[in-house]
Amino acid sequence: MESNSRVARLLGHLNPSEIAQAGLQALPTSAPSSKKPRVAVLGAAGGIGQPLALLLKASPLIGELSLYDIVGTEGVAADLSHIDSSVKVSSATGAEKLSDALYGCDLVVIPAGVPRKPGMTRDDLFNINASIVRDLCAAVAKYCPQAWVAIISNPVNSTVPIAAEVFKRAGTYDPRKLLGVTKLDVLRANMFIAEAIGKAPESVSVPVIGGHAGVTILPLLSQATPRVDVSAEKAKALTERIQDAGTEVVKAKAGKGSATLSMAYAAAKFAESCVLALQGQAVVECAYVESHLTDLPFFASQVRLGPSGVEEYLPLGRFSELEAKGFEALKSELRGSIQKGIDFVRKG
Ligand SMILES: NC(=O)c1ccc[n+]([C@@H]2O[C@H](COP(=O)([O-])OP(=O)(O)OC[C@H]3O[C@@H](n4cnc5c(N)ncnc54)[C@H](O)[C@@H]3O)[C@@H](O)[C@H]2O)c1
Ligand SMILES: O=C(O)C[C@H](O)C(=O)O
């Protein structure tokens, strides 16, 4: 699996004809599946979990929705099960029922864990959320080792490396199927830029790279569609607003948690992209994944998803001066957060 993972990363830099010219063989890709998938939400009774479950229950792409939490799952499932959509809803509560929740899942979405309060950083959540993600991923490795795993729980910069280590230990690690969810950063970038340039948000697309915390969130305004023609000062202000957007919500909620509704929307869209990819469509998303695009072992960038998971890493492209500075500035924090996650599993 490890050598597969290295080849996958190498192949991520090459297009199919370069792969052929180099005499390399692409990794075996999974066949697309026509079956509507079974999707699990772990942390389904929470602030994100509930609206996410609602959006997935309403999705025509999902076959079964498996809801899991340590408390309150049955009520959420009973409520959702009255909605007249074909998605079958099941629920499981407590660690002894986790296996029931995970069996047969194609995609596992994890928003389990505590959210920030004003004055906290995402890293302040590490002490509680690291072990939650570790234990849930250990169960994924046991009960649905083939599933794609999308991690929302913060600090994402560390929880994704934690999940990778857990899967490596279990011998089930496939880096193409482990995705840190950074789509909310993209939605925010699209929205704030749309407001700034007077365009419809639906027509705006801004790649966001790096990680998911403060300065590690790096929106690439210079690569946005349509072109963003603003002063350097305005570009800096917009970049900082996107980087601080999570904190903006934490402050506004004044002790009652962090972004839940926008996150649920972002996660539902992301989950649908994963499902479309599983079914054979090529979909491009920004996600925080194991990567060799930079010298950081995990990095968020645009990736092309297909039936096997991440099938191509899109190039980072040319940076503006502001972005080049931002890229240098994010490296040490992101590297530290990645190492903290790895050490938690290796030394913990
Ligand atoms: N990636 C992102 O962009 C992003 C955005 C917003 C929030 N988040 C993060 O998502 C996480 C959840 O946020 P929230 O607002 O939904 O919090 P919440 O407290 O409202 O909900 C969390 C849920 O997780 C459950 N839970 C706790 N331990 C569990 C376990 N071992 N197994 C299963 N479920 C468990 C809780 O019972 C609760 O229902 C936080 O860590 C938050 O920082 C990430
Ligand atoms: O800011 C937070 O703590 C939650 C989330 O990471 C966000 O970006 O909204």
Give dist(CA 3, CA 160) in Å, integer. Answer: 20
DSSP secondary structure string, 249-280?
HHHHHTTS-S--HHHHHHHHHHHHHHHHHHTT
Q: Is 122 annotated as a binding residue?
A: yes
Residue type, position 36, single letter: K
Q: Is ligand 1 within 6 A of the CB of residue 140?
A: no
At 108, phi and psi to the nearest 5? -120, 120
The per-residue b/e assignment along 182-221, b for 16 or more CB within 10 angstroms, e otherwise, is bbbbbbbbbbbbbebbeeeeeebbbbbbbbbbbbbbbbbb
Q: Are the C-beta atoms of 33 and 55 separated by less than 8 Å? A: no
Q: Residue ranges of the domains in the chain?
A: 2-13+28-181, 183-346
Quote the pTM value.
0.93
Q: For each of the chain's 348 residues, which pLDDT tens digit applies?
A: 333 333 333 333 343 334 334 433 344 467 788 789 999 999 999 999 999 999 999 999 999 999 999 999 999 999 999 999 999 999 999 999 999 999 999 999 999 999 999 999 999 999 999 999 999 999 999 999 999 999 999 999 999 999 999 999 999 999 999 999 999 999 999 999 999 999 999 999 999 999 999 999 999 999 999 999 999 999 999 999 999 999 999 999 999 999 999 999 999 999 999 999 999 999 999 999 999 999 999 999 999 999 999 999 999 999 999 999 999 999 999 999 999 999 999 998
The class of domain 183-346 in CATH terms is: alpha beta
The class of domain 2-13+28-181 in CATH terms is: alpha beta
DSSP 245: H
Ligand 1, from 263, 285, 288: best to mutate by most atoms within 8 Å of Cβ? 263
Ligand 1, from 143, 158, 256, 258: best to mutate by most atoms within 8 Å of Cβ? 258
Q: Are the C-beta atoms of 12 and 38 separated by less than 8 Å? A: no
Give dist(CA 158, CA 132) in Å, integer. Answer: 12
Cβ–Cβ contacts within 10 Å for residue 109, how many? 29
Annotation marks residue 292 as catalytic: no
Q: Is 69 annotated as a binding residue?
A: yes
3-state secondary structure of 96: helix
